[in-house]
């Protein structure tokens, strides 16, 4: 199969969908790989390395999209790319369609077969292609939150509270609230605990809270995430990390604007769920160039492609888990690959102008066609 790797065009996106080692592996299986010039520069993977691995370096995105059967990306297609998609082509990338009607409609209009990394799901509910980026984003969330807490001028001149996350002898550490005790929240908690903060982990699932307590013990406090509990914890929090996920669906809004209005001046909120629409009422997507904005007297960070600020690490972590699926799709075709791997079948979001992922259809009030229908064609 002919596989295309375009250069990412989302603001601040420096990752690339394949590494030279992955190219070499796919070439050994007989596939042809087209890589847009400069696609790997942001991840410190030069064109020469891709060429040495057997890729053909092409000059423009049009060359990549027009001449390939399988497009492998990192982030969802943007308007300049919509016209390049076509019926019969397979697109394999992060999509987060429940948060974007525009992108959903573009995929449907093109007729492209779109498979979303984030909805590939194993029988036990784990998300193998989301997990590594969740780990990166979770760890980064505490890091960027600690930076925003510094008393440097932020949006609209608002300054962070000027608090060192771990404090010093004689001065209390920062109070961090992590909402969500899944993979992302656990990573954020680990970094916050490691930096010496006082951490409260909230979740509605008591089993997850038990797991967090087993891992971190007395270094954290756990609480069931009710409205009353959130009111009390948010009122005293210096840093709030939103790590709520419903696979493939729009993130639930768990923190209201009213609650933010009662937070401490200069406090910080980091919304890791912004890819899926955000879990704070006031959330809106930002960019790495302008990552924060002010809400009442607080600072909010809501960058959708957070892992791209560490692109070398993120690219390798992502390709480690996507490569087996890319090889399966390229080697067997997407239908046969899905017929033998139900986890990959759950990743199918659109096909032949129809939505095949129920949460996306629900989010946009669109008709839903079961994946089985696509596999039987």
Is 96 noted as a catalytic residue in this protein? yes
Contacts of residue 162, Cβ cutoff 8 Å, sequence gap at least 6: 149, 150, 151, 266
Tell me the β-bridge partners of 270: 241, 301
CA 110 from chain centre, in angstroms, equals: 24
Contacts of residue 275, Cβ cutoff 8 Å, sequence gap at least 6: 94, 96, 99, 118, 304, 305
Between the two ends of the chain, the Cα-to-Cα distance in Å is: 20
The C-alpha atoms of residue 144 and residue 164 are separated, in whole angstroms, by 13
From the candidates 31, 96, 238, 341, give the one annotated as an active-site residue.
96
- Cα dist. 202→11, 125, 132, 165, 256 in Å? 32, 21, 22, 19, 16
172 sits in the region (left: phi over 0; alpha: psi -120 to 50; else beta) called beta
**Nearest C-alpha neighbor of 177 from the set 267, 96, 265, 112:** 267
**Nearest C-alpha neighbor of 145 from the set 266, 236, 274, 260:** 266
From the candidates 238, 271, 275, 341, give the one annotated as an active-site residue.
275
- Cα dist. 98→29, 73, 160, 194 in Å? 35, 18, 32, 34
Helix (H) or strand (E) holding 191: helix 183-194
Is 147 noted as a catalytic residue in this protein? no
Q: Which one-letter DSSP state was computed for residue 274?
A: G
The C-alpha atoms of residue 78 and residue 93 are separated, in whole angstroms, by 12
Residues taking part in catalysis: 96, 275
């Amino acid at each position: 199969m002919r596989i295309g790797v375009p250069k990412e065009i989302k603001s601040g996106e420096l990752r690339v969908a394949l590494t030279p080692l992955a190219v070499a592996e796919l070439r050994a299986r007989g596939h042809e790989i087209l890589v847009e010039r400069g696609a790997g520069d942001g991840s410190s993977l030069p064109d020469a390395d891709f060429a040495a691995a057997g890729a053909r370096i092409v000059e423009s995105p049009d060359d990549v999209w027009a001449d390939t059967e399988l497009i492998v990306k990192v982030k969802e297609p943007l308007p300049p790319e919509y016209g390049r998609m076509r019926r019969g082509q397979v697109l394999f990338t992060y999509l987060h369609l429940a948060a974007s009607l525009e992108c959903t409609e573009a995929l449907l209009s093109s007729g492209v077969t779109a498979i979303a990394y984030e909805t590939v799901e194993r029988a036990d509910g784990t998300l193998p292609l989301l997990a590594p980026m969740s780990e990166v984003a979770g760890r980064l969330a505490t890091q960027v939150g600690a930076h925003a807490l510094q008393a440097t001028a932020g949006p609209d001149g608002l300054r962070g509270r000027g608090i060192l996350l771990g404090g010093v002898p004689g001065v209390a550490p920062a109070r961090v609230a992590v909402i969500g005790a899944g993979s992302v929240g656990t990573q954020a908690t680990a970094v916050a605990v490691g930096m010496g903060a006082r951490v409260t982990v909230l979740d509605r699932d008591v089993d997850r809270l038990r797991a967090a307590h087993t891992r971190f013990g007395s270094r954290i406090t756990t609480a069931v995430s009710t409205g009353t509990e959130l009111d009390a914890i948010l009122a005293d929090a210096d840093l709030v990390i939103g790590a709520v996920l419903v696979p493939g669906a729009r993130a639930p809004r768990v923190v209201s604007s009213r609650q933010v209005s009662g937070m401490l001046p200069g406090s910080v909120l980091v919304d890791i769920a912004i890819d899926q629409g955000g879990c704070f009422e006031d959330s809106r997507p930002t960019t790495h160039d302008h990552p924060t904005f002010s809400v009442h007297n607080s600072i909010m960070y809501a960058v959708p492609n957070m892992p791209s600020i560490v692109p070398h690490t993120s690219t390798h972590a992502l390709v480690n888990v996507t490569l087996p699926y890319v090889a399966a799709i390229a080697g067997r075709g997407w239908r046969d690959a899905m017929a033998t791997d139900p986890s990959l079948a759950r990743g199918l979001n659109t096909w032949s102008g129809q939505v095949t992922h129920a949460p996306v259809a629900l989010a946009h009030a669109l008709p839903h066609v079961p994946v089985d229908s696509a596999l039987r064609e």
